[in-house]
Amino acid sequence: MKPVVFGIAAETLNDEERALFRDSDPAGYILFARNVADRDQLRALTDELREISGRDNVPILIDQEGGRVVRMKPPVWPEFPPWAKFDALYDKAPISAIEAARSNAHAIGLTLAECGITVDCLPLLDVRQPGAHDVIGDRALGFEPMRVAALGRAVLDGLAEAGVAGVVKHIPGHGRAMVDTHKALPRVTASAEELASDVAPFRKLADAPMAMTAHIVFEAWDPDRCATLSPIVIDTIIRGEIGFDGLLFSDDLDMQALEGDPADRAVAVVEAGCDIGLNCWARMDEMKRTVERLDDISAVSRERLDRAMEAVRPAETADALDALIDKRDRLLALA
């Protein structure tokens, strides 16, 4: 098995993808809107990925957050609100906000499980900061660390009730970034003392099954390398101070915050301490080079992968979906 998650080019696999995936056995796969048409198509695609991998619980990831970040869209699937709405409800009724967040995540999870998707890249534990770039914005769970942690726990629990694993992101925190990591490399100049509030939600949810790194330089910790590429940040902050011992993904290796060939980036993130790199864009030449460059997944990373996927179970009935959405909407109306 190679410590990489690959994207797929279209709504069905092509012969070259099938051959590469069978030969290389990537750790998992990630889906985007380009891979999604309807329930039957999506289920057939995920079933084939399972058959190729030989693993019933192979990680099949998607970014199905709600709001402006969704891959499975109406009218085929329900519309899910941005997470800022749950933060607004928390101002008036914290317990109701937590229950609304859990119901919303459970509903999202049911739509994923029905189609054979096992991992949602959610929740964001990035503590929102005034004046920061809007790449996080209303995707965040709030400005206050313990509120973010409480709502984040509800999201993880809701996904788990549907048999879907959650990925906390973007560890150790994306909330202070002044530029979009898709376009450039942010540098955060906050002190270690100031950054304590950024890592606080991740510390509270250090038992999450999976996490995704931030392509951000934190000058207080490592002024030379972004978190994704920094053994200092991964070992001392993420594994040490935060205490996270789950499966650690890099964020997308194709973002312009990183430099160099994507295959070289994949090697670099694993050498820095990430368990698995995300190669999302399904460019065959890049995927082949990545397979050639990467060693097999380490025993430690494989154990983390297996542990993270233990909670994933066969898709349950989606009969409860409408009731969960109705409950969420009734609670959100309180705000």
Q: Give me the active site residues, please.
A: 182, 251
Residue 207 class from Cβ within 10 Å (0-12 exposed, 13-18 middle, 19+ buried)? exposed
* Separation CA 103–CA 83 (nearest Å): 13
Residue 157 class from Cβ within 10 Å (0-12 exposed, 13-18 middle, 19+ buried)? middle
Q: What is the DSSP string of 69-107?
A: B-SS-TTTS-----THHHHHHHHH-HHHHHHHHHHHHHH
Cα distances from 148 to residues 110, 173, 174, 175, 215, in angstroms, run: 23, 12, 13, 12, 21
Work out whether the CA dihedral 260, 263, 264, 265 comes out positive or negative.
positive
Work out whether the CA dihedral 210, 103, 43, 70 comes out positive or negative.
negative
Contact 87, 130 (CB under 8 A): no
Q: What is the DSSP string of 201-218?
A: HHHHTTT-SEEEE---EE
Residue where the block lists tokens 């790194």 = 213
Q: 61: helix, coil or strand?
A: strand
Cα distances from 160 to residues 54, 106, 109, in angstroms, run: 23, 8, 8
